[in-house]
Structure 1
Amino acid sequence: MKHIALKVIALVALAAPVAPAYGQFNLKKAIGATAKAVQAFTLTDAQMAAYVKESVDWMDKNNPVLPEDDEYTKRLRRLTEGITEADGIPLNFKVYNVVDVNAFACPDGSVRVFAALMDLMDDDELLGVIGHEIGHVLKHHSKNAFKNELLTGALKDAVASTGGKAAALTESQLGTLATSLQSAKFSQKQENEADDCGYDFLVSKGKNPWGIVMSFEKLQGLEGDAGASQSYIQKMFSSHPETQKRIDHMKKRCEQDGIARPEK
């Protein structure tokens, strides 16, 4: 597998008449407080939804969202045509024109894909990443991680003091919540569950699940590449010895289901 440096990718991107120069993904640094014990209060689904919405709105406001007539957005719309919901959760997709190699899906169905990742992945690989991220939503991993941040993290006291009203949070606090959505870390078990759930989701939408395998192979090939952003690779492959097992498992499912690998 060829090691692809992001510097090379950036040069390729400059050759295409697409988006303006990348920005830097903007997330406030988490408030410097240690994790605290869960306080004796709970959050309703409505309160959770309000926090997620405000956090996503904050990210969309503070990062360069590419417009509908941009080539990156057109490509994402084409790839996700017909993918409008996941188990009743309405999905919405946007592209951030930033240099980070990343993508994430939020509990409310907001899926954000970074332009640098789109430069790195072909269509099948990109759909594989999207399917995996939606798998985290379907398995409630994203929701549980977000709720844990609200109940035990740096914002616990702020949430408790406002009775769970998201509107009372400051810009810095909303930035902290946005961080928890974008950079949530999942266990190896959760990653495996998202792989399988993402596989089933893509098949249900008439998409080729080989994209999951191919995206993993692409990212695996970038491990150790000094020119590549390591954050998403580390997030996807929290336990590197398990990476090949995950690839092999997804291959086996595709082969058992008689699904042909897309030709390059």
Structure 2
Amino acid sequence: MIKFFPMLLAVLYGLALYRFSVWRTSRELDTNSTELADTKLKALTDQMARALDIERIKVHIYEIEPVNGLAAQDGRIFITRGFYNRYRAGDVSAEEMASVIAHELGHVALGHSRRRMIDFSGQNAMRTALAMILGRFIPFIGPYLASFAMSLLAARLSRADEFEADAYASALLVKSGIGTAPQKSLFEKLEHLTGARGAAIPAWIMSHPKTHVRIAAIEANEAKWQGAAK
């Protein structure tokens, strides 16, 4: 029993981190966000709401500068102030912003937001346990190896979620009459908008798939849907 005690501690540590992370994220979003009020974007979200047969899609502005969209564990959709400012400046079209909202809706509908929080706790528990085990056999280096291994696993899971959310967004955009052109054109802009330089980073380290791979997946889905419709 004693030899399993470190593993038990690791699990309890992961659960504690999970609960703290949920509380901290929820409090941060509550404090630093307001509901989006934009006539043009509302018209597009209303189109998507009709396609989903729901009354409305509520979107919030999260008051931070990095360009991003996110889906909270409680199902709320957020666009950062930095992203909204780029839209207001004309760098991003209303339809492209709608594609971001559709993507975040995909994360909610497919359970990614909640699962990512659970994965976070499990990954931290596994990271701690693995660091303890490897630390006994490979002092000093073991914990770093454990952290690197878990980071690779988290990146792989994240990429899978992104592909699924992309596919959901594509289907919703097509059904609502917006189409996937804005989704694909936004991907072409993202590296510039976010300041990321994904081309220099190996794909297996990245948390998001590379742009050309995401666009190719969208086009493959479109071809499949068109073939099924004939």
1:65 to 11, 14, 34: 34
> What does residue 70 of structure 2 align with?
104
1:182-223 CA-partner distances (Å, limit 9, x unpaired):
xx9653222212211221233344432222211111114x1x
2:42 to 57, 77, 83: 77
2:59 match: secondary structure:
strand
Work out the number of aligned pairs and report it.
175
Shift of 1:251: 2.9
> What does residue 100 of structure 2 align with?
129
Question: Residue type of the partner of 2:93?
Answer: D
Taking the aligned partners of 2:197 and 2:114, their CA distance within structure 1 comes to 19
Taking the aligned partners of 1:109 and 1:250, their CA distance within structure 2 comes to 24
> What does residue 243 of structure 1 align with?
211
TM (norm. structure 2) is: 0.57
Question: Residue type of the partner of 1:193?
Answer: E
Structure 2 stretches lacking a partner, 5+ long: 1-8, 126-153
Shift of 1:149: 3.4
Shift of 1:106: 1.9
Higher Cα Rg: structure 1 or 2? Answer: 2
Taking the aligned partners of 2:74 and 2:106, their CA distance within structure 1 comes to 13
1:26-78 CA-partner distances (Å, limit 9, x unpaired):
xxxxxxxxxx7323998xxxxx9xx86884353131x253674xxxx334323
> What does residue 185 of structure 2 align with?
214
1:225-264 aligned at under 5 Å gives the runs: 228-230=193-195, 238=206, 242-254=210-222
Question: Residue type of the partner of 2:65?
Answer: V
Whether contact under 8 Å (2:41, 2:98) holds in the other structure is no
Whether contact under 8 Å (1:125, 1:214) holds in the other structure is yes
Taking the aligned partners of 2:71 and 2:95, their CA distance within structure 1 comes to 18
- Give the structure with the higher percent helix: 2
Greater relative CO (CA pairs within 8 A, separation 6+) = 1
Question: Residue type of the partner of 1:102?
Answer: N
> What does residue 174 of structure 2 align with?
203
Moved over 6 A (4+): 85-88, 231-234
1:215 match: secondary structure:
helix
What is the RMSD of the two structures over their aligned residues, measured on CA atoms? 4.2
Taking the aligned partners of 2:209 and 2:75, their CA distance within structure 1 comes to 31
> What does residue 143 of structure 2 align with?
none
Taking the aligned partners of 1:67 and 1:194, their CA distance within structure 2 comes to 22
Whether contact under 8 Å (2:106, 2:169) holds in the other structure is yes
Structure 1 stretches lacking a partner, 5+ long: 1-35, 43-47, 155-183, 223-227, 259-264
Question: Residue type of the partner of 2:11?
Answer: V
CA 1:151/1:251 → structure 2, altered by over 3 Å: closer, same or farther?
closer
1:1-264 aligned at under 5 Å gives the runs: 37-39=10-12, 55-61=25-31, 63=32, 65=34, 68=37, 73-84=38-49, 91-118=57-84, 119=86, 120-150=91-121, 153=124, 186-220=157-191, 222=192, 228-230=193-195, 238=206, 242-254=210-222
Question: Residue type of the partner of 1:115?
Answer: R
Question: Residue type of the partner of 1:131?
Answer: A
Whether contact under 8 Å (1:93, 1:111) holds in the other structure is yes
